[in-house]
């Protein structure tokens, strides 16, 4: 049995304007695509998806805006990405058999990236608010989300092709609330007759690049034995070794993956205690008003694990287990996340990019309660933490707006609290459930091994936003604030930083978490 452990080793400024004038201005400015010569693609592809009732045909429509060209070494990030899946009528029947009246979709689309014969893989993730199931007929679900950038290492076309698709369908009630039922994961692949038709776009890369093509080309615009050597390559012209395109956010463990995460270790300011753990957490938070999701990049959490308490049944056939632990977010000596950026269409048409941080304003607590018969163990864990959302910069249609030094929510984010008498005040609540059979890996969430934590949050009104007499509080409040924002965070495997000997399966040599989790929806 792998339950809670108490000893080693646990697993610049814009022109001044009123809000009304600003809205009118934003509506009349040209969009980024028109200004930069970007190209929009909208492609429908035939897929086959595995549903509980069997394998069925589905149509997947992918749309995105690509830059018209790029320089070698310049990051290419598609924008306005959406993935629509039209499931057959049988999918509706399958979901209704699960007791669902609606469904909250999330997609993970595999994207093959290639340049001059070198390849890499990226994942385009999307999410959406709950959708009511139709009485009958097909079910169309559309998700949106930010996608990783891709950097070509040399000259030549950078091509993007659609691959396998995974659709997570979380059952929802008629009002859109989660039902608590397990999500249905649907695996989809390009139909056999369309296996070679997944080409989405090609972006010319290089100083002489001029206008890409969405049609497949038989010859790359630069061969491995010609062109200018890559800067820093160190090889004479004609002997350059082409390298695979670089995908931002490569999954941990994948070839070429790097620890592109902030440090997560104890120091003189935060010394390790006898039961100290550390872990990375990452995931998505929906912004319901903007019909999109924010990716919160991996951030560090320092945890002081509490002593587990066992209460045995009278016949000793099992026991209940409770544990109370505490912790702090940790980024450069501050209790906050790293800055993260999100782009949305404010008012449905205006691209708005905000840089934000989540700041911890009170204790972070982790409470676990479960039971075991010494063969099967189940545990429910609630993570509670008061967090204020701070906006550090804002651009609307490419025009910077000065939000000032103290733009934030007027109070902490709040979640529905299952025990308000014991845990008063505004705070985020995330829940995770873990199960484990003796001798088998755990499923779901356990404090030591990590896993998914989910919840729902209300974003309060904003205050202190604006400079030089310009009040942006109402703009942000009207655009972002409100209830019903779904949150899903993935905690990675903890590192027992206080252990006498470093566990190489859980920690780096300098006692940082080895496992960097991958966000999921």
H and E: helices and strands count for the chain: 4, 30
Segment among 158-162, 221-225, 447-451 with least mean pLDDT? 221-225
Residues 287 and 369 placed together within one structural domain of the fold: yes
Residues 195 and 290 placed together within one structural domain of the fold: no
Indicate the pLDDT class of residue 144, thresholds 50, 70 and 90.
confident
3-state secondary structure 178-220: ECCCCCEEEEEEECHHHCCCCEEEEECECCCCCCCCCCCCCCC
Tokens matching residue 485? 């924002």
Residues 442 and 330 placed together within one structural domain of the fold: yes
Using CA atoms, how far apart are residues 203 and 500, in angstroms rounded to an integer? 52
Do the domain assignments include residue 256? Answer: no
Residues 195 and 285 placed together within one structural domain of the fold: no
Do the domain assignments include residue 70? Answer: yes
* 8 Å CB contact between 330 and 263: no
* 8 Å CB contact between 201 and 111: no
Give the domain extent around 456. Answer: 276-496
- Res 106: pLDDT: 86
Residues 58 and 167 placed together within one structural domain of the fold: yes
Do the domain assignments include residue 232? Answer: no
Do the domain assignments include residue 505? Answer: no
Residues 40 and 115 placed together within one structural domain of the fold: yes
Cα pseudo-dihedral 416, 419, 422, 426, rounded to 10 = 0
Write out pLDDT tens, residues 3-47: 334 433 333 333 333 232 232 222 222 233 333 468 899 999 999
Write out pLDDT tens, residues 192-204: 876 667 889 999 9
C-alpha distances in Å from residue 339, one per residue of 194, 267, 331, 382, 464: 41, 22, 10, 25, 19
Residues 371 and 440 placed together within one structural domain of the fold: yes
Residues 293 and 210 placed together within one structural domain of the fold: no
Choose the most confident range, by mean pLDDT, from 42-56, 396-410, 418-432. 418-432
Q: Could you say which of 216, 245, 263 is where a domain stops?
A: 216
Do the domain assignments include residue 355? Answer: yes
Do the domain assignments include residue 333? Answer: yes
Q: Which helix (H) or strand (E) holds 478?
A: helix 473-480
Please state the rounded mean pLDDT for residues 383-397.
92
Tell me how far the alpha carbon of residue 324 is from its chain's centroid: 28
Residues 151 and 62 placed together within one structural domain of the fold: yes
Q: What is the mean pLDDT of the chain?
A: 80
- Res 141: pLDDT: 94
How many structural domains is the chain composed of?
2
- Res 73: pLDDT: 84
Using CA atoms, how far apart are residues 69 and 449, in angstroms rounded to an integer? 44
Do the domain assignments include residue 19? Answer: no
Do the domain assignments include residue 77? Answer: yes
Using CA atoms, how far apart are residues 159 and 169, in angstroms rounded to an integer? 30
- Res 127: pLDDT: 83
- Res 281: pLDDT: 97
Residues 362, 359, 328: CA angle, nearest 5 degrees: 55
Q: Bridge partners of 381?
A: 368, 432
Q: Could you say which of 171, 191, 216 is where a domain stops?
A: 216
CATH of the domain at 155: 2.60.40
Residues 185 and 300 placed together within one structural domain of the fold: no
- Res 7: pLDDT: 37
Using the predicted structure, report yes or no on whether residue 246 has a pLDDT greater than 80: no
Indicate the pLDDT class of residue 176, thresholds 50, 70 and 90.
low
Q: Residue 15, class by beta-carbon neighbours within 10 Å (0-12 exposed, 13-18 middle, 19+ buried)?
A: exposed
Query: Which pTM does this prediction carry?
Result: 0.57
Residues 281 and 188 placed together within one structural domain of the fold: no
Residues 60 and 181 placed together within one structural domain of the fold: yes
- Res 146: pLDDT: 73
- Res 497: pLDDT: 93
- Res 203: pLDDT: 93
Write out pLDDT tens, residues 433-457: 999 888 888 889 999 999 999 999 9
Please state the rounded mean pLDDT for residues 472-484.
90
């Amino acid at each position: 049995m792998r339950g809670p452990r108490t000893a080693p080793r646990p697993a610049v400024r814009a022109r001044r304007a009123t809000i009304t004038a600003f809205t009118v201005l934003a509506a009349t400015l040209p969009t980024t695509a028109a200004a930069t010569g970007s190209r929009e693609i909208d492609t429908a592809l035939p897929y086959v998806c595995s549903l509980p009732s069997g394998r069925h045909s589905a149509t997947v429509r992918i749309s995105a805006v690509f830059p018209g060209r790029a320089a070698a070494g310049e990051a290419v990030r598609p924008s306005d990405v959406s993935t629509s899946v039209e499931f057959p009528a049988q999918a509706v029947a399958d979901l209704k058999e699960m007791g669902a009246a609606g469904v909250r979709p999330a997609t993970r689309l595999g994207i093959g990236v290639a340049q001059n014969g070198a390849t890499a893989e990226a994942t385009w993730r999307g999410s959406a608010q709950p959708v009511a199931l139709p009485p009958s007929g097909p079910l169309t679900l559309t998700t949106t989300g930010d996608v990783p950038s891709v950097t070509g290492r040399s000259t030549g076309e950078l091509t993007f092709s659609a691959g396998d698709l995974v659709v997570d369908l979380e059952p929802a009630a008629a009002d859109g609330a989660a039902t608590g039922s397990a999500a249905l994961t649907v695996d989809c692949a390009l139909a056999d007759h369309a296996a070679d038709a997944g080409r989405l776009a090609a972006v010319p890369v290089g100083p002489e690049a001029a206008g890409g093509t969405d049609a497949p080309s038989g010859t790359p615009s630069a061969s491995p034995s010609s062109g200018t050597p890559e800067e820093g390559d160190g090889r004479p012209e004609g002997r350059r070794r082409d390298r695979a395109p670089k995908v931002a956010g490569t999954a941990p463990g994948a070839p070429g993956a790097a620890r592109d995460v902030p440090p997560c270790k104890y120091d003189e300011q935060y010394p390790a205690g006898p039961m100290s753990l550390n872990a990375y957490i990452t995931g998505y938070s929906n912004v319901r008003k903007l019909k999109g999701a924010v990716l919160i990049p991996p951030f560090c959490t320092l945890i002081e694990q509490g002593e587990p308490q066992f209460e045995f049944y009278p016949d000793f056939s099992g026991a209940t287990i409770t544990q109370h632990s505490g912790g702090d977010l940790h980024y450069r000596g501050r209790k906050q996340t790293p800055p993260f950026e999100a782009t949305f269409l404010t008012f449905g048409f205006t691209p708005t990019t905000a840089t934000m941080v989540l700041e911890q304003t009170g204790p972070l607590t982790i409470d676990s309660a479960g039971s075991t018969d010494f063969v099967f163990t189940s545990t429910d864990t609630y993570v509670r933490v008061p967090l204020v959302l701070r906006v550090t910069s804002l651009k609307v249609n490419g025009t910077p707006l000065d939000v000032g030094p103290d733009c934030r929510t007027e109070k902490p984010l709040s979640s529905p609290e299952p025990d308000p008498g014991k845990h008063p005040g505004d705070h985020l609540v995330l829940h995770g459930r873990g199960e484990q059979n003796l001798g088998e890996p755990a499923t779901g969430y356990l404090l030591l091994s990590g896993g998914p934590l989910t919840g729902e949050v209300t974003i309060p009104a904003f205050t202190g936003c604006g400079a030089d007499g310009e009040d942006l509080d109402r703009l942000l409040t009207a655009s972002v604030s409100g209830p019903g924002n779904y949150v899903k965070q993935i905690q990675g495997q903890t590192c027992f930083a206080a252990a006498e000997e470093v566990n190489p399966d859980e920690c780096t040599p300098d006692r940082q978490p080895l496992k960097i989790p991958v966000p999921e929806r």
